[in-house]
């Protein structure tokens, strides 16, 4: 592969949690180094408690590493204050969680537009309402825009969460077990949607999953074992 | 999508959760708005009372015992172009015809027909005939009077010469009127007329001025001048005073200028016998004025010969052509013959001087006879004798009433003949200087001033006399009563602030409850907050969104609080006028709410409620986003160990020490600061106690597990799980219990140690007040005998007799701010020798060992020392010990008074006490005593009271037990405390509601873990016990913190005389509070665990 400029670079990234009074700190990530090019799709797998979500939170600027660096477009996230990090998240990152986390009091339309409130000064190329209409149509929820999350199925809610994650045209999409709450069919549909959007929107996708089937559909599979990231064995 | 859209959606979606927040905010606004409305209502009521009692009267001149011409009113009206009315105003007692009921302290008003044009509302009463009296509702109520009924009024017969003056007659002291009630006047019909600012109306009786003048032998005279003006019409006081100065005549000051036919001299004299000092001093400045002092002496003796009961004149040196030394005396021919005296002989003069309480002291002075003058000498002038009321009109010597016992057997036939031939012609003459030395008294030191014949025209002399004397100098002082009434009403006790203080803890409880409910809602949406943070919202932005929601909720709540505040205000006014009337003394307060007040209360409620929401949110959303998303409303993190993160709580806990220091210091500061110290100390102890509780909770949450934990231990751990929630519950309960306990300790009980000198009764058994003055000394057989009593009347006790200068009641029974308080004149030694009363404060720098003697400390020209009750000084007058006050004396001259000490909760509330000598100097024409502190053995109090009431009924004596009088004052504070306690009880109810909500919430959140315990084999009963213990710790902890804080904060009250801990009622109260709380908790636990728990596991 030709050397492409890296979208995301992890340099010797480590994360440890303070343990109890008698124990030593609990090291979850130990010196992870990784480069991710724009447009890539990566699956991170590993046993439960291996630190996959921790890694995702560090990449998404939801947490701070104990040591090491996270560089996004060459910019070290450690140098950003909380306001700048929030701005970074709203413009550059889209999150999809295992639980959809749609606001129950808002309609689908309002939920997908919610991230636009986080950066009111941002003027995207594609107007947010237009993008929302297009993406909802793309995921087959155009006619459900005025429905509330409580009126949708689990799969529909997750698809809405995907649209919400993409509304600000982020460069990086982070999905933490996005199919974990879905049945098999729903999981496959969602996985397909994510891959298609990865191609169509050109958004880099990092996905955490237990499902090997889903992982194998990604461009690269990495396995997190003992706090370190290795290419997964086939 | 806009932020407001998100806020709106959230408000609608979570409406049920938000309902509690709205109610909490509404409650806070209700209480705040309602408290302010109470203040508005009281102020409006006082303004109306002032309007009712004064009507259109803007200025008043109350002459008391000075009677001016009633025609002065018309002359003044012409100059001012304002309505002016002259009336008679006298103290009186009233009884029904059957003497079945009596009313003392009645205001008898003799009014002309145009009196009613000064009423605030048009009143149309016909000219009163001689047999008719109009009474007001208060008097009618006291005596059960109806139109057509009969009323007996008794009023003192005015004596132009004070009954305490020398040679003042004692007989004929009062006049009785038997009248038919013509109508009962309502307050708005001017029935409430009074010059004193008090929400309690006096008992008024209105009769025809002409009839009263005739009965009192005061033709054409009045002692009350009322100047009317339209409401809002501004009239300068000096304009009125100047008009009075232009209009008044000598006759208005009982002065008379006459030409003596025999000598052609012009003489200024007064029907008050003695020329007052301001008059004498002013007139003597005029050229050729000569002062004269003529006295009635008991005896003139030369050797073995004596002449009884004679007139002697003191004249200026110029009156004696041959001169006269101060030790010399000229005698008339008649006297010389009677005494067989000749020039060079010694002649002694015996005379009475009148001390306080009409104590007669006979003195003697010896002269050398300089010469003998014939009866035809110009000096032998019968006009030299002033018109002594008991002497001038007597036909015979035996008809004399000189105010002291005349031994009729000493009067000889020749004395009678002398009287017939020569009347009051002086029998001897001394120098004016010597005469003034012997006979000067507080009423004056001259009986006349003469101008030689041909010196000036009488009219010119009169004009110069009027010019040189200001009306105020002769007691004719115009007071701006409307202005004073407005000040009294607006500066009075601020009930708005009072009820805000009462409601403080209730508001706090409402806010804590609101915060608790708001926190429940926020916890429910932590995952939502985490989502927003993950989407790029900053924590501040998320917090602002929630605060925006809170703002809408508290705004809504505040709007609801406006009408609710009106209802609360109405309820409080109803309480004040029906249940707590002893605090306000009147059932006539009415509800009045101004829109700005309601809005201010609502805004204040919204502000504090919003602040409570802000406080709740301030530390929210600080946890990692992933934790918010993943765990939502689950366990609070335990946090770092105790030693690492307890600095704020440690700091707060140390405030308890500061609070304790304040409590200890309160004793040194004195009770001037007791109320704020109590509140501050209480608040600090509460805060410190809650901080300590927070530390304990944190310690529990982070401590290592026990080796074998029992249910009780686990319950304690559970109580510490939701630290903020648990603290809020503790705080709610602590506030309520603090209030209830502290209030019960602060109640005043007059009967406690009532017979002790240091108590509020001063150790006196009885307090008596009369409508009419008592001039005799009740501690002497002669004084008692005058009223038909023998020496055993006081059962071996004694009385401290006090002079009274009426003014505004400066006790807590008067809602108005006392502008000019009532003064008592008392001999300080009478109280100091008894060690009566205890003192709350003595002015800095003054000795505190014998405080009553501070009244006698001042030298000439220094401020007059006064002592008042601490409550009167602080609350009714808005002053402090050490303050310098300015008042007007009887002659309208300003004088300064310094508050040198304050009494602690005494029966002397309502007045300022000064030394009798100062009182006499400032108010010389205030005759006799009208306030009495009676010492008598407690077992004899009732019979002595009955004896005094019977004997002094004609002067309208009302006798009350001293402890009951103190009770009446204490009732005000105790009523306030009851209100405080009621509102605190409501706070406790809110606390119980808070406990219930916390129980329900905790059980709901932990259903799955409780279900797990069931699955493990725990019985539901054991789980119930666990939950009950867990919340009982909070209940008992909160009550404990509140009770202990209250106990520590009320130490000053316990130390004060009359203070003490009412153990039994307090223990009963505490037991009731604890039982109530436990019952609530048990009931709610049963409800919360009613549904099967295992279902929660299956749902997981």
pLDDT computed for residue B641 by the predictor: 47
- Mean pLDDT of the region A193-199: 89
Examine residue A1 and state whether it is found in any structural domain, yes or no.
Answer: no
Closest partner CB to B626 (pick from A53, A88, A109): A53
3-state secondary structure of B155: strand
- Whether B304 and B446 share a structural domain: yes
Examine residue B238 and state whether it is found in any structural domain, yes or no.
Answer: yes
Kindly state whether B541 is in contact with chain A, defined as any CB-CB distance less than 8 angstroms. Answer: yes
| Residues A197, A203 contacting (CB under 8 angstroms) | yes
- Whether B728 and B788 share a structural domain: no
pLDDT computed for residue B658 by the predictor: 73
**Considering only B54-58, B973-977, B1039-1043, which range has the smallest mean pLDDT?**
B973-977
Average pLDDT, chain A: 87
Domain stops at, among B634, B654, B669: B634
- Mean pLDDT of the region B738-744: 76
Chain B residue with minimum CA distance to A113: B1
- Mean pLDDT of the region B641-657: 63
- Whether B1059 and B1022 share a structural domain: yes
The per-residue pLDDT for range B244-259, each reduced to its tens digit, is 999 999 999 889 999 9
- Whether B193 and B284 share a structural domain: no
**Residue B633: pLDDT over 70:** no
pLDDT computed for residue B891 by the predictor: 81
Instruction: State the Cα–Cα distance between residues B869 and B617, nearest whole angstrom.
Output: 49
Examine residue B788 and state whether it is found in any structural domain, yes or no.
Answer: yes
pLDDT computed for residue B640 by the predictor: 46
3-state secondary structure of B1027: helix
Kindly state whether A60 is in contact with chain B, defined as any CB-CB distance less than 8 angstroms. Answer: yes
- Whether B277 and B182 share a structural domain: no
Among B386-400, B545-559, B585-599, B983-997, the range of highest mean pLDDT: B545-559
Through-space distance between the first and last CA atoms of chain A, rounded to whole angstroms: 20
pLDDT computed for residue B635 by the predictor: 44
Instruction: State the Cα–Cα distance between residues A15 and B702, nearest whole angstrom.
Output: 25
Examine residue B1035 and state whether it is found in any structural domain, yes or no.
Answer: yes
Among A17-21, A225-229, B740-744, B932-936, the range of highest mean pLDDT: B932-936
Examine residue B479 and state whether it is found in any structural domain, yes or no.
Answer: no
Q: Are strands B57-62 and B224-228 parallel, antiparallel or unpaired?
A: antiparallel
pLDDT computed for residue A25 by the predictor: 82
**Considering only B31-35, B347-351, B425-429, B652-656, which range has the smallest mean pLDDT?**
B652-656
B1043 to chain A, minimum CA–CA distance in Å? Answer: 38
Residues 6+ positions from B860 with CB-CB distance below 8 Å: none
Instruction: State the Cα–Cα distance between residues B78 and B80, nearest whole angstrom.
Output: 6
Closest CA to B1086 of B1032, B1004, B1028, B1013: B1028
Task: Specify the higher pLDDT residue, A23 or B983.
Answer: B983
**Residue B704: pLDDT over 70:** no
- Mean pLDDT of the region B616-637: 69
Residues of B whose CB is below 8 A from A114? 1, 6, 532, 535
Strand (E) or helix (H) holding B571: helix B539-574
Examine residue A163 and state whether it is found in any structural domain, yes or no.
Answer: yes
Number of domains forming the structure of chain B:
5
- Mean pLDDT of the region B26-38: 91
Task: Specify the higher pLDDT residue, B615 or B54.
Answer: B54
- Mean pLDDT of the region B152-161: 83
- Whether B620 and B665 share a structural domain: no
Examine residue A172 and state whether it is found in any structural domain, yes or no.
Answer: yes
CA B162 to chain centre: 29
pLDDT computed for residue B1099 by the predictor: 47
- Mean pLDDT of the region B881-909: 91
Q: How confident is the model at residue B393 (pLDDT cuts 50, 70, 90)?
A: confident
Chain A residue with minimum CA distance to B2: A117
Kindly state whether B18 is in contact with chain A, defined as any CB-CB distance less than 8 angstroms. Answer: no
Residues of A whose CB is below 8 A from B537? 86, 90, 117-118
pTM of structure: 0.79
CATH number of domain containing A60: 3.40.50.300
CA A194 to chain centre: 11
Task: Specify the higher pLDDT residue, B741 or A157.
Answer: A157
- Whether B290 and B336 share a structural domain: yes
pLDDT computed for residue A233 by the predictor: 67
Task: Specify the higher pLDDT residue, B612 or B1091.
Answer: B612
CA atoms within 13 A on the CB side of A186: 14
Examine residue A227 and state whether it is found in any structural domain, yes or no.
Answer: yes
pLDDT computed for residue B637 by the predictor: 45
Beta bridge partners of B61: B225
- Mean pLDDT of the region B660-671: 60
- Whether B600 and B738 share a structural domain: no
Examine residue A149 and state whether it is found in any structural domain, yes or no.
Answer: yes
Closest partner CB to A118 (pick from B537, B626, B629): B537
Residue A96 CA: distances (Å) to CA of A223, B6, B1097: 20, 21, 28
Examine residue B483 and state whether it is found in any structural domain, yes or no.
Answer: no
Examine residue A150 and state whether it is found in any structural domain, yes or no.
Answer: yes
- Whether B735 and B817 share a structural domain: no
Burial of residue B809 (CB within 10 Å: 0-12, 13-18, 19+) is buried
Domain, as residue range, for A188 = 6-231
Average pLDDT, chain B: 85
Residue A153 CA: distances (Å) to CA of A156, A180, B1098: 5, 14, 21
Which DSSP category does A210 fall into? S
Examine residue A195 and state whether it is found in any structural domain, yes or no.
Answer: yes
Instruction: State the Cα–Cα distance between residues B885 and B479, nearest whole angstrom.
Output: 18
With CB atoms and an 8 Å threshold, state whether B629 touches A97. yes
3-state secondary structure of A169: coil
Q: How confident is the model at residue B668 (pLDDT cuts 50, 70, 90)?
A: low
**Residue B818: pLDDT over 50:** yes
Examine residue B503 and state whether it is found in any structural domain, yes or no.
Answer: no
Beta bridge partners of B108: B90, B205
- Whether B363 and B427 share a structural domain: yes
Examine residue A152 and state whether it is found in any structural domain, yes or no.
Answer: yes
- Mean pLDDT of the region B760-769: 93
Number of domains forming the structure of chain A:
1
pLDDT computed for residue B1098 by the predictor: 55
Instruction: State the Cα–Cα distance between residues B956 and A56, nearest whole angstrom.
Output: 96
- Mean pLDDT of the region B296-301: 93
Instruction: State the Cα–Cα distance between residues B962 and B938, nearest whole angstrom.
Output: 11
> Which stretches of B163-230 are assigned E, i.e. beta strand?
174-185, 203-208, 221-222, 224-228
The per-residue pLDDT for range B828-864, each reduced to its tens digit, is 999 999 999 999 889 988 888 889 999 987 788 899 9
**Portion 154-193 of A in contact with B at CB < 8 A:** 164, 168
Q: How many CB pairs under 8 A join A and B?
A: 84
- Phi first, then psi: give them for residue A80, nearest 5 degrees: -95, 140
Examine residue B874 and state whether it is found in any structural domain, yes or no.
Answer: yes
**Percent above pLDDT 70 for chain A:** 95
Beta bridge partners of B869: B903
The per-residue pLDDT for range B304-325, each reduced to its tens digit, is 999 999 999 999 988 888 889 9
Q: How confident is the model at residue B1058 (pLDDT cuts 50, 70, 90)?
A: low
Instruction: State the Cα–Cα distance between residues B354 and B782, nearest whole angstrom.
Output: 14
pLDDT computed for residue B824 by the predictor: 96
| Residues B972, B871 contacting (CB under 8 angstroms) | no
A104 to chain B, minimum CA–CA distance in Å? Answer: 8
Instruction: State the Cα–Cα distance between residues A217 and A192, nearest whole angstrom.
Output: 9
Examine residue B672 and state whether it is found in any structural domain, yes or no.
Answer: yes
Among B75-79, B658-662, B683-687, B966-970, the range of highest mean pLDDT: B75-79
**Residue B639: pLDDT over 60:** no
**Considering only A120-124, B25-29, B317-321, B359-363, which range has the smallest mean pLDDT?**
A120-124
Residues of B whose CB is below 8 A from A110? 1, 5-6, 9
Angle between helices B539-574 and B15-54 (to 10 degrees): 40
**Percent above pLDDT 70 for chain B:** 91
Kindly state whether B626 is in contact with chain A, defined as any CB-CB distance less than 8 angstroms. Answer: yes
Q: How confident is the model at residue B671 (pLDDT cuts 50, 70, 90)?
A: low
Tokens 């700048």 sit on residue: A84
Domain, as residue range, for B344 = 251-473
- Whether B707 and B782 share a structural domain: no
The per-residue pLDDT for range A62-106, each reduced to its tens digit, is 888 999 999 998 899 988 888 888 888 888 999 898 888 888 878
- Whether B1032 and B948 share a structural domain: no
| Residues B735, B512 contacting (CB under 8 angstroms) | yes
């Amino acid at each position: 592969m030709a050397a492409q400029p890296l979208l995301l670079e992890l340099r010797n990234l480590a994360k440890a949690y303070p343990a109890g009074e008698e124990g030593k700190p609990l090291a979850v990530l130990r010196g992870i180094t990784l480069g991710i090019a724009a447009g890539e799709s990566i699956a991170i797998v590993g046993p439960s408690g291996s630190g996959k979500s921790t890694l995702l939170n560090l990449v998404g600027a939801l947490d701070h590493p104990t040591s090491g660096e996270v560089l996004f477009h060459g910019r070290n996230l450690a140098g950003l204050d909380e306001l700048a990090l929030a701005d970074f998240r709203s413009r550059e990152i889209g999150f999809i969680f295992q639980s959809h986390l749609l606001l129950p009091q808002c309609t689908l339309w309002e939920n997908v537009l919610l991230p636009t409130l986080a950066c009111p000064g941002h003027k995207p190329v594609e107007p947010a309402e237009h993008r929302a209409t297009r993406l909802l149509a793309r995921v087959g929820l155009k006619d459900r825009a005025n429905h509330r999350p409580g009126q949708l199925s689990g799969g529909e809610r997750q698809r809405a969460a995907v649209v919400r994650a993409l509304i600000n045209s982020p460069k990086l999409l982070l999905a933490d077990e996005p199919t974990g709450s879905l049945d098999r069919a729903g999981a496959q549909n969602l996985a397909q949607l994510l891959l298609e959007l990865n191609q169509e929107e050109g958004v880099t996708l990092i996905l955490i999953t237990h499902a090997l089937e889903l992982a194998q559909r990604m461009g690269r599979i990495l396995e997190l074992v003992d706090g370190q990231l290795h290419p997964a064995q086939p | 999508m806009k932020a407001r859209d998100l806020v709106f959606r959230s408000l609608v979606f979570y409406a049920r959760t938000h309902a509690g927040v709205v109610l909490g905010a509404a409650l806070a606004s209700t209480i705040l708005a309602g408290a302010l409305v109470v203040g508005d209502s009281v102020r409006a009521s006082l303004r109306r009372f002032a309007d009712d009692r004064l009507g259109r009267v803007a200025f008043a001149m109350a002459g008391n015992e000075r009677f001016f011409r009633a025609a002065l009113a018309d002359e003044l009206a012409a100059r001012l172009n304002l309505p002016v009315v002259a009336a008679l105003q006298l103290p009186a007692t009233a009884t029904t015809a059957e003497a079945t009921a009596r009313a003392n302290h009645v205001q008898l008003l003799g009014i002309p027909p145009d009196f009613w044009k000064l009423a605030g509302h048009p009143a149309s009463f016909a000219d009163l005939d001689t047999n008719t009296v109009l009474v007001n509702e208060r008097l009618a109520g006291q005596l059960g009077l109806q139109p057509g009924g009969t009323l007996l009024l008794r009023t003192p017969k005015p004596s132009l010469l004070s009954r305490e003056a020398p040679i003042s007659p004692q007989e004929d002291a009062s006049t009785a009127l038997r009248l038919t009630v013509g109508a009962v006047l309502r307050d708005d019909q001017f029935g409430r007329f009074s010059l004193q600012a008090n929400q309690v109306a006096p008992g008024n009786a209105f009769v025809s001025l002409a009839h009263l003048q005739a009965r009192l032998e005061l033709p054409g005279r009045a002692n009350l001048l009322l100047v009317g003006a339209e409401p809002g019409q501004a009239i300068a006081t000096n304009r009125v005073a100047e008009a009075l100065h232009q209009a008044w005549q000598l006759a208005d000051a009982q002065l008379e200028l006459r030409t003596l036919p025999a000598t052609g001299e012009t003489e200024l004299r007064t029907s008050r016998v003695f020329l007052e000092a301001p008059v004498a001093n002013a007139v003597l400045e005029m050229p050729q004025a000569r002062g004269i002092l003529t006295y009635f002496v008991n005896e003139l003796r030369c050797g073995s010969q004596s002449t009884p009961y004679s007139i002697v004149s003191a004249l200026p040196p110029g009156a004696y052509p041959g001169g006269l030394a101060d030790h010399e005396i000229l005698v008339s021919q008649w006297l010389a013959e009677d005494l067989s005296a000749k020039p060079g002989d010694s002649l002694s003069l015996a005379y009475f001087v009148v001390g306080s309480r009409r104590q007669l002291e006979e003195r003697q002075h010896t002269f050398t006879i300089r010469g003998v003058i014939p009866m035809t000498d110009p000096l032998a002038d019968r006009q030299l004798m002033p018109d002594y009321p008991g002497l001038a009109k007597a036909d015979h010597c035996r008809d004399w009433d000189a105010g002291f016992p005349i031994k009729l057997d000493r009067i000889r036939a020749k004395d009678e003949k002398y009287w017939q031939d020569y009347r009051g012609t002086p029998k001897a003459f001394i120098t004016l200087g010597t005469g003034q030395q012997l006979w000067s008294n507080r009423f004056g030191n001259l009986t006349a001033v003469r101008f030689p014949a041909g010196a000036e025209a009488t009219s010119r002399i009169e004009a110069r006399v009027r010019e040189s004397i200001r009306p105020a100098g002769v007691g004719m002082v115009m007071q701006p009563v409307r202005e004073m009434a407005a000040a009294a009403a607006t500066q009075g006790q601020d009930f708005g602030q009072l009820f805000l203080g009462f409601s403080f803890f209730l508001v706090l409880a409402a806010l804590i409850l609101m915060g608790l409910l708001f926190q429940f809602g926020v916890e429910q949406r932590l995952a939502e907050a985490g989502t927003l943070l993950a989407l790029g919202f900053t924590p501040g932005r998320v917090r602002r969104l929630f605060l925006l929601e809170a703002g809408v909720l508290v705004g809504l709540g505040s709007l609801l609080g406006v009408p609710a505040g009106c209802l609360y205000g109405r309820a409080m006014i109803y309480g004040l006028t029906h249940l707590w009337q002893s605090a306000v003394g009147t059932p006539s307060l009415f509800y009045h709410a101004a829109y700005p007040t309601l809005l201010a209360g609502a805004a204040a409620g919204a502000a504090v409620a919003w602040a409570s929401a802000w406080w709740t949110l301030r530390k929210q959303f600080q946890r990692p986003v992933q934790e918010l998303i993943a765990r939502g409303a689950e366990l609070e993190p335990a946090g770092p160990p105790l030693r690492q993160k307890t600095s704020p709580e440690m700091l707060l806990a140390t405030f308890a020490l500061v609070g304790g220091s304040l409590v200890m210091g309160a004793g040194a500061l004195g009770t001037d600061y007791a109320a704020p110290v109590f509140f501050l100390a209480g608040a600090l102890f509460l805060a410190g106690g809650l901080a300590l509780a927070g530390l304990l909770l944190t310690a529990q949450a982070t401590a290592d597990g026990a080796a074998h934990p029992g249910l009780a231990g686990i319950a304690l751990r559970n109580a510490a799980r939701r630290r903020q929630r648990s603290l809020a519950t503790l705080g709610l309960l602590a506030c309520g219990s603090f209030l209830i306990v502290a209030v019960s300790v602060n109640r005043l009980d007059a009967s406690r140690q009532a017979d002790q000198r240091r108590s509020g009764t001063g150790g006196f058994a009885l307090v008596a007040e009369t409508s009419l003055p008592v001039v005799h000394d009740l501690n002497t057989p002669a004084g008692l005998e005058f009223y038909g009593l023998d020496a055993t009347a006081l059962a071996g006790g004694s009385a401290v007799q006090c002079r009274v200068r009426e003014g505004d009641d400066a006790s807590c029974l008067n809602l108005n701010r006392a502008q000019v308080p009532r003064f008592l004149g008392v001999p300080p030694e009478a109280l100091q020798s008894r060690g009566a009363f205890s003192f709350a404060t003595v002015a800095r720098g003054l000795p505190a060992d014998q405080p009553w003697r501070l009244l006698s400390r001042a030298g000439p020209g220094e401020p007059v020392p006064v002592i008042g009750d601490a409550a009167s000084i602080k609350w009714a007058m808005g002053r402090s010990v050490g303050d310098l006050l300015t008042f007007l004396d009887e002659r309208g001259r300003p004088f300064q008074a310094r508050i040198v000490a304050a009494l602690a909760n005494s029966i002397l509330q309502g007045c300022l006490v000064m030394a009798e000598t100062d009182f006499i100097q400032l108010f010389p024409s205030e005759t006799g005593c009208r306030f009495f502190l009676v010492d008598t053995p407690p077992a004899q109090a009732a019979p002595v009271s009955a004896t005094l009431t019977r004997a002094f009924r004609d002067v309208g004596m009302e006798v009350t037990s001293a402890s009951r009088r103190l009770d009446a004052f204490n009732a005000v504070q105790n009523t306030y405390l009851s209100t405080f306690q009621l509102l605190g009880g409501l706070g406790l109810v809110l606390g119980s509601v808070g406990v219930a909500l916390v129980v329900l919430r905790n059980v709901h959140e932990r259903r799955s873990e409780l279900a797990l315990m069931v699955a493990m084999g725990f019985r539901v009963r054991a789980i119930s016990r666990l939950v009950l213990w867990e919340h009982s710790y909070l209940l008992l902890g909160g009550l404990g913190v509140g009770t202990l804080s209250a106990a520590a904060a009320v130490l000053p009250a316990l130390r004060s005389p009359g203070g003490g801990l009412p153990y039994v009622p307090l223990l009963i109260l505490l037991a009731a509070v604890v039982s109530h709380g436990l019952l609530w908790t048990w009931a709610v636990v049963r409800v919360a665990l009613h549904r099967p728990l295992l279902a929660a596991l299956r749902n997981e």
